[in-house]
Amino acid sequence: MKRPERRFVGGVLLFLLSGLLVACSDEPQEEGEGSGETNNSDSGGDDLVLTVVADAVDLDPHGSNDTSSAHIRTNLYDKLVEYDENMEIQPELADGYEQIDDHTWEFRLKEDVTFHDGEPFDAEDVVATLERVTDPEFASEKMFLYEMIETVEAIDDYTVQITTEYPFAPLPANLTHDGGGMMSAKAIEEEEDGGRNLNTEPVGTGPFKLENWAQGNEVILTQYDDYHEGPVSLDSATFQVVDEELTRISMVENNEAHVADNVEPEQAGQLESMEGADSSSTESWRMDYIGMNNNAEPFDDSEVRRAISMMIDKDTIIEGIYDGYGGQAIGPLNPLVFGYSEDIDPIEYDVEEAQSLMEDAGYEDGFEATLLVEDADQLNLQVAEVVQDQLQEINVDLSIEQQEWGSLLETTGAGEYEMVMLGWTTVTGDADNGLYPVFHSDNQGPSGNQTFYSNDEVDELLEAGRQVDEENEDERLEIYEEAQQIIIDDAPIVPIIYDDFRIGISDSVEGFIQLPSGLFDLRETEIVDEGVDQGGY
């Protein structure tokens, strides 16, 4: 299939897609259940309405490690550094930074920055934030990103030195993660004293502050007037939870929303001819996969896992379900991520070899298993149904169970499952974040290693990869290539696709940025009057 032509809009790589929307929602829903009625219909277009597939889990930067929550936190919290639209790391709350020696990084902070509660931002807030996320007793799901930090020292009010236990080249990249969102030392102290819940009462320095969170329904952010980069154009942004994809799309078509998240390829190809709206697709750092619980029989046997991998015809999935969008995943790292290697050998589709492996493992008669899928993700459900059909050829009777996103994360994090459809976006753009949380044995559970995979050699390689200094890039690449090959051969996961991020967007929106991490950056977003009946919002 010929891929659509690419162009740049608002600094983000987009795909122009064509077609006609053939389905829309006409079933009424009750208010508070994703009905599409915005809370701010008289805003005159100052309220950006985004329909998203799942609600945030929490708003604490050191809390859950999921995209739905990160969408919100990204706009509430600033980091010391951030990726720009060209995917180059730039100072954000830092004025600048430098590596003083192999173990020490110094950050010079911006002055005259305030938190949403009016408290000034300074070096003590950086110390409090990083000490909190690295505190073993706090047990953040994101501790793996910063566990190499040995000390954080305030040299003066606006200078911080971070000392690492070993040379760690990806530290600036890891600080761009939403787990590096700078928190108020005062707010942290208030939570410790029982006076604040940072899961629901966030205090950041970002362009927006939290107005209201009706859990399960919507999150409303309002402009922070004293934002250090100057006020943004939007008065507010409303993230509405609408789990039905066609409802999200029709809300954009009917001027009930500006953005529809998680658009399937089939619908993306039909959006361009829609009056007043378009679709866009951003190349991502993502890898979608099927995970197998390595602690559950029979998936504790690598021969069974390899047989499962050999039975999944990815070409059928990509062409039949993804309409040719994205690329076939051959390993655990996306090609856009530092550390990806073209020289790794993937597990190829091979029915005869899969049957032979099943016989060798003692499962020539097959077995029964359950595959978990997020209930609101229709694309993954379609993939699961194809996989269900393909595995029947080796007598694997697969049941599909749909779960709400938060429940699915709890189930997989606790290891109470057999197979699951998941994805991992390497949000730092570096192999350390793409491999260490997902495959190092120390991170089994909610931190990322939800397959409970364990391999001592992989652990050693991933530890070595994060200890090579910044100048020895080739050495890091060699380490990560070796680690990727072992992981592929052990087959704790079946990599399916390096998918793009697709959204539907109103023509009235300009400057909307979706990063390769999938996150929405609303700082440059504006709502204009062209082509949209503003009275519809």
Q: Of 92, 450, 143, nearest to 290 (Cα)?
A: 450
Q: Which two tokens stand for residue 376?
A: 């609101």
Residue 207 in any domain: the answer is no
Low-confidence ranges of the chain (pLDDT < 70): 1-45, 85, 470, 529-537
Same domain, 313 and 448: yes
- Give yes or no: residues 313 and 462 share one domain: yes
Extended strands (E) in 348-481: 367-374, 396-403, 419-425
User: If we measure between CA atoms, which residue out of 232, 235, 228, 194 comes closest to residue 115?
Assistant: 228
Structure tokens at 226: 């004293």
- Three-class SS state of 288: strand
315 and 276 fall within a common domain: no
CB contact burial 370-394 (16+ within 10 A = b; e otherwise): ebbbbbbbbbbebbbebbeebbeeb
pTM (two decimals): 0.78
Burial state string for 443-452 with b = 16 or more CB within 10 A and e = fewer than 16 = bbebbbbbbb
Q: Helix, strand, or coil here: 75?
A: helix
Which residues is 163 bridged to in the sheet?
A: 104, 151
- What is the C-alpha to C-alpha distance for residues 135 and 484, in angstroms, rounded to an integer? 30
Reported as a single tens digit per residue, the pLDDT across 150-174 is: 999 999 999 999 999 998 989 999 9
Whether the bond into 346 is cis, omega within 30 of 0: no
Task: Report residue 22: phi and psi, to 5°.
Answer: -100, -10
Place of tokens 């091979």: 350
Q: Which domain holds residue 343?
A: 286-498
Supply the pLDDT for residue 146: 95
CA distance 475 to 426: 20
Q: Are 188 and 140 in contact (CB under 8 A)?
A: no
Is residue 167, in this structure, part of any structural domain at all? yes
CATH number of the domain that 265 lies in?
3.40.190.10
Domain membership of residue 66 (yes or no) is no
* CA distance linking residue 287 with residue 218, whole number of Å: 28
Q: Which pairing describes strands 159-164 and 104-109: parallel, antiparallel, or unpaired?
A: antiparallel
Separation of alpha carbons 190 and 142, rounded Å: 21
Q: Angle of helix 123-133 relative to helix 185-192, nearest 10 degrees?
A: 50
Query: Directed axis angle between helix 302-311 and helix 378-391, to 10°?
Result: 110
Output the pLDDT for position 141.
Answer: 87
Residue 69 lies in a domain: no
456-465 helix and 431-439 helix, angle to the nearest 10 degrees: 150
DSSP H or E run through 413:
helix 405-413
The answer to the question of residue 44 being in a domain is yes
Q: Based on the fold, state whether residues 262 and 125 are members of the same structural domain.
A: no
Contact 232, 208 (CB under 8 A): yes
Q: Does one domain contain both 312 and 348?
A: yes
Q: Is residue 75 part of a domain?
A: no
CATH number of the domain encompassing residue 396 = 3.10.105.10
Same domain, 168 and 36: no
The total of structural domains in the chain comes to 3
Q: Would you tell me the crossing angle of helices 473-490 and 431-439 to the nearest 10 degrees?
A: 40
Domain annotation covers residue 62: no
pLDDT value of position 529: 65
Which CATH number do you get for residue 88? Answer: 3.90.76.10
Residues 346 and 373 in one domain: yes
DSSP classification of residue 342? T
Q: Are residues 371 and 385 in the same domain?
A: yes
Closest CA to 264 of 21, 503, 495: 503
CA proximity to 268, closest of 314, 317, 324: 324
Any idea which residue has 């009275």 for tokens? 535
Does 464 lie in the same domain as 493?
yes
Note whether 175 and 81 are within 8 A (CB).
yes
**Tokens 């809009």 correspond to what residue?**
9
Q: Which residues does 295 contact at the CB level (< 8 Å), separation at least 6?
A: 415, 452
Query: Do 355 and 454 belong to one domain?
Result: yes
Whether 206 is in a domain gets the answer: no
- Locate the DSSP E strands across 84-217: 89-91, 94-101, 104-109, 149-156, 159-164, 208-214
Q: Is residue 450 within 8 Å of residue 422, measured between CB atoms?
A: yes
pLDDT in tens, 413-455: 999 999 999 999 998 889 999 999 999 999 999 889 999 999 9
Helix (H) or strand (E) holding 74: helix 67-76
Using alpha carbons only, what angle is made at residue 172 by residues 166 and 177, rounded to the nearest 5 degrees?
Answer: 115
- Say if residue 488 is in the same domain as residue 384: yes
Q: Are residues 228 and 177 in the same domain?
A: no
- C-alpha pair distances (Å), 202 with each of 61, 74, 187, 190, 521: 9, 12, 8, 12, 18
Residue listed under structure tokens 């090609």: 335
